[in-house]
Structure 1
Amino acid sequence: MGLFSRGKSKDRPDTDAVDTDAVDAEVLDAEVDDLSEERDDGDDIDGSAAGHGGRGTTGPFDRAEVDDDSDYLNLGAIWLRGQQGMELRLEINEQEQQITGVTAVVGESAVQLQAFAAPRTEGVWIDIRNEIAASIVDAGGTAEVLTGEFGEELLTRMPQAGPDGRTVFMPARFVGVDGPRWFLRAVVSGRAAIEPAAAEGVHEVIRTAVVDRGADAMPPRELLPLRLPDADGVAQAEQPGDDSRGDDLNPFERGPEITEVR
């Protein structure tokens, strides 16, 4: 794999992870309408229909389903397969010195991945999706359930003041996948959030990802630990005193970055 260089980043939403312009409200409304027409409508935010994230036969995969791991970068709970031009950023909680997520940047789009413990008998995506939607709506944004490649997902828009004083929206798509005793959350930002034609690169990151849940007993929604890879791409052991519990599903927290130069 490539070299890693450590860098600092300011506290800002993950929707700013890619250097793309915010979208004017009227333009974004039209693009979202087009996106909705291209996909089957999902249930209402508080619907009761089955909305578990879909894995199918194309992934993301559980560790037990992968025989050949030679093409993967092992980051602990999440393994990723590289692709041409992809850049990785490992997000770190400075206070706890804990890696809380990994973001893959592909062109003008990005996807943040985090893996969490989940119950053995049922998925958690429906509840988490509803909680994220309620939080965004309370903050003045919008949230809409759509059906995509990985099942029901959440298309969100967060209002911000543009440079000319007009309201602009930062779009993001929340994708959730329920696996065996784990849950993988992906937050898609940049052009791929609203343009299906631009989403293939980040969707490939999601569908080829591998989650290594481990055998330890963990409460539902506890963040599965990520680790820095060594020179061979194998995750380093966690240092004594590290706490694997992260902030509970906070999609907008960033820390310093470690960038893979490919």
Structure 2
Amino acid sequence: MIFSRKRDAGRHARAERAAEIPETTDVVEEAPARGPYDVTEAPEGVQRLDLGSLQIPAVADVEVRVQADPQGVIQQVVLVHGRSALQLGVFAAPRSDGIWDEVREEIRQSLFNDGAAAQEVAGEYGIELHARVRNEDGLTDLRFVGVDGPRWMVRAVYQGEAATNPAAAGPLAQCLEGLVVDRGVEAKPVREPLPLRLPREAGAQAGPADADAASTTGSR
């Protein structure tokens, strides 16, 4: 399966504006202009790949690659387009405050400990972290983006051309902007990864020995 926009100040800005309106005025709460969306705010009529806590919009020529264990629990989600990739993760967060600022500092410190310098840069969703790391293939550029939502945080890591040139993110950025998070209602420890699973049809096709292969998608 091949499935596969600057989050405004979003919910916080709308809440502040609503607070300034007299109580006698009826206020209509609008959905954010773009996501990632909470499942309660997601636009209808959009084709999405349902991975449980994450629903990824179908965007032409974007390949969704997931790595899962034999039970169908997804360990990694990577979207690929051309020479760029986008790795996605979603985590539990407290009801009151976002956690991206703290997580970003921890990532920066971890990179520093590994000998990689990271730079904070203003991006479409706020402060991003840009770094260049060394792996078995040589030097790789990474761009870390965090989005705080209601009791969740999405961490997105661009690799390849989209890491150094945000304008090249194109369809991958569309996927991030159309992403839907289904947090669920149960209590979870802060920063715990939210559960991801293979779609039922993919899980039915994959046996324990080939879960990874079956979870790699390949047609529009």
Q: Which secondary structure does the structure 2 equivalent of 1:131 belong to? A: helix
CA distance in structure 1 between the aligned counterparts of 2:46 and 2:165, rounded to whole angstroms: 32
Q: Which secondary structure does the structure 1 equivalent of 2:40 belong to? A: helix
Match of 1:119 among 89, 94, 98: 94
Q: Which secondary structure does the structure 1 equivalent of 2:80 belong to? A: strand
Q: Report the equivalent of 1:80.
A: 56
Given that 1:140 and 1:159 are in contact with CA atoms closer than 8 Å, whether structure 2 keeps it comes out as no
Under a length normalisation based on structure 2, what TM-score does the superposition of the two structures give?
0.77
For these two proteins, the number of residue pairs brought into alignment is: 188
Q: Which secondary structure does the structure 1 equivalent of 2:140 belong to? A: strand
Deviation for aligned residue 1:198: 1.1
Q: Does 1:260 align with 2:197?
A: no
Q: Which secondary structure does the structure 1 equivalent of 2:87 belong to? A: strand
- The structure-2 alpha-carbon separation of the partners of 1:92 and 1:78, relative to structure 1 and needing over 3 Å to count, comes to same
Q: Which structure has more RCO (C-alpha within 8 Å, separation ≥ 6)? A: 1
Deviations 1:126-155 (A, max 9, x none): 000000000011101110011111111100
Given that 2:62 and 2:172 are in contact with CA atoms closer than 8 Å, whether structure 1 keeps it comes out as no
Q: Which secondary structure does the structure 2 equivalent of 1:261 belong to? A: coil
Under a length normalisation based on structure 1, what TM-score does the superposition of the two structures give?
0.65
CA distance in structure 1 between the aligned counterparts of 2:58 and 2:38, rounded to whole angstroms: 18
- Aligned residue type for 2:126: G
- Aligned residue type for 1:195: N
Which consecutive residues of structure 1, in runs of 5 or more, have no partner in the other structure? 5-51, 163-167, 237-254
Q: Report the equivalent of 1:22.
A: none
Q: Report the equivalent of 2:144.
A: 174
Q: Report the equivalent of 1:219.
A: 189
Given that 1:103 and 1:112 are in contact with CA atoms closer than 8 Å, whether structure 2 keeps it comes out as yes
- The structure-2 alpha-carbon separation of the partners of 1:54 and 1:129, relative to structure 1 and needing over 3 Å to count, comes to farther
Say what the alpha-carbon RMSD is for the aligned residues. 2.8
Q: Which has the higher helix share?
A: 2
Which portions of structure 1, spanning 4 or more consecutive aligned residues, are displaced by more than 6 angstroms? none
- The structure-2 alpha-carbon separation of the partners of 1:66 and 1:140, relative to structure 1 and needing over 3 Å to count, comes to same
Deviations 1:166-213 (A, max 9, x none): xx5211011100000001100110110002331122111111000000
Deviations 1:217-259 (A, max 9, x none): 101011100111124x9x99xxxxxxxxxxxxxxxxxx94521
- The structure-2 alpha-carbon separation of the partners of 1:102 and 1:144, relative to structure 1 and needing over 3 Å to count, comes to same
Deviation for aligned residue 1:261: 1.0
Match of 1:156 among 119, 131, 149: 131
